[in-house]
Structure 1
């Protein structure tokens, strides 16, 4: 299971607070978007523009362009990255969300390596066409911070991208980490779906479609080709139920805490049913 931008339903997306809540939920991976500052630092941020998620216009009123890649890391660290969440979702607000900082990739790696629960990273290269050689820089940061794959153990890192070319580069730079091709379309004919699978089979190990595209015959076609399927963004219990019937391999969700509770509860019910069955058939 993958937490989309951390526990982004409960806390400001991709922030330290959202990541820590996701870790506490027992999730397998935390999905985060990687971009690069003008002074060549890899940071975690989803949008290519700073306006929606920060107070950049107030801190830098003289700037005419608020595209993230035009700012230095020091400038980004001056921004309030959490108060927008309190304003938009007052019922989930917290004083601890005010003045959160945008995190670097290295800071995130350090956070998850020192976490009490073992969790992996699902790293999406956001707009890789804007950042020449960002794939190599991403792999270098992971290696420098010793986030490495271990033989016969669950992958520590999954790479995600809408760009087949970017995934192809990552397959050459770090072939031991799985890769996942993201798709944007709200609809896919069978012909189009098989076209996506053709591309995926060349550059990745799995595909991540929008949830309502994840029909059982599509998932089955992917499995026949040895590809795993992780639909996104799945936030309702009925959606998890349907997709589990359709044999999805996991989910990308904004609500890892709720997902964890549902699955732990399901496991408890299965265990109780098994105990009851044993009691019934005892002499």
Structure 2
């Protein structure tokens, strides 16, 4: 059924959703499938997060999906980095000692390209760089991987949704092949995800968070996924999300984060989630192999 048709009854779903789902048929089969394994910021337990090295490490592990974070430089270039400050994952404090607090938006792309984004993780990664989004998607494409792209801190970067979509289009990521199974754009900002959906309705979108069950039908008008932290999720909540139909006339999916050990991965799979976002994709994949 469509999200709009269930608004009056959604509040009852949290406790009863498991009973409401059909015992057989396409939906039941889909829920029972093994969850996808998504490498969080690449295989970030084994290589510096959000670098091309982390993408490649995931590829060598045989992991199809990688997740990243996108922000914008002072001169308007999109770069892949999680924090809004360069301090934790680069040597910006040493290279530019007078420019605290080293915010991404206060540096040009050329300045950021000078920074070492690997030594903090280990000497073998010395010299790794903060990739531009263009460099990143080209590496993902080269590796035949799929991308869960997070628009980070969109309130800091007006228009970043349109800019991100334009770059993805220029790189060939908005064709049918990518839109039907290789790309999801997500954010903690509902407004940002709504903007992505309005600008390019064909893009699969995800909202990061755990909206109240009563509010889920509203989210289902513009997002295809509800992606909560593992600590906030339950079997009933997953079932309530999956009982709704999203903007592409498919049931909503749930990717949960961040799960790094086998026992938690198995519990998440038992909840019926569709994907598990992890820093240790090999561990999670191994745990779910017999699922």
**Shorter-normalised TM range:** 0.7 to 0.9
CA RMSD in angstroms, aligned pairs only: 1.8
Q: Which stretch has the larger CA shift, 146-155 or 203-212?
A: 146-155
Where structure 2 has 5 or more consecutive residues not aligned to the other structure, the ranges are 1-36, 245-250
Structure 1 residue 260: deviation in Å?
2.8
Tell me the TM-score normalized by structure 2: 0.81
Larger radius of gyration: 1
| Pairing 1:223–2:239 present | no
Where structure 1 has 5 or more consecutive residues not aligned to the other structure, the ranges are 87-94, 186-191, 268-283
Does the CA-based 8 Å contact 1:3-1:30 persist in structure 2? yes
SS in 1 for 2:185: strand
| Pairing 1:107–2:132 present | no
Does the CA-based 8 Å contact 2:258-2:277 persist in structure 1? yes
Question: Which residue number in structure 2 is paired with residue 77 of structure 1?
Answer: 113
Aligned residues: 249
Ranked by relative contact order (alpha carbons within 8 Å, sequence separation 6 or more), the top structure is: 2
- Counterpart CA distance in 1 for 2:218 and 2:44 is 30
Structure 1 residue 101: deviation in Å?
0.4
SS in 2 for 1:11: coil
Does the CA-based 8 Å contact 1:106-1:141 persist in structure 2? yes
Question: Which residue number in structure 1 is paired with residue 224 of structure 2?
Answer: 205
Question: Which residue number in structure 2 is paired with residue 245 of structure 1?
Answer: 270
Any idea what the Cα deviations from partners look like across 1:44-86, whole Å, max 9, x if unmatched? Answer: 0000011111111110112244111000011001111011112
Structure 1 residue 35: deviation in Å?
0.4
Tell me the TM-score normalized by structure 1: 0.83
Q: CA 1:221/1:135 → structure 2, altered by over 3 Å: closer, same or farther? A: same
- Counterpart CA distance in 2 for 1:170 and 1:153 is 13
For 1:174-193, what aligned pairs fall within 5 Å after superposition? 174-183=200-209, 193=212
Does the CA-based 8 Å contact 1:149-1:176 persist in structure 2? no
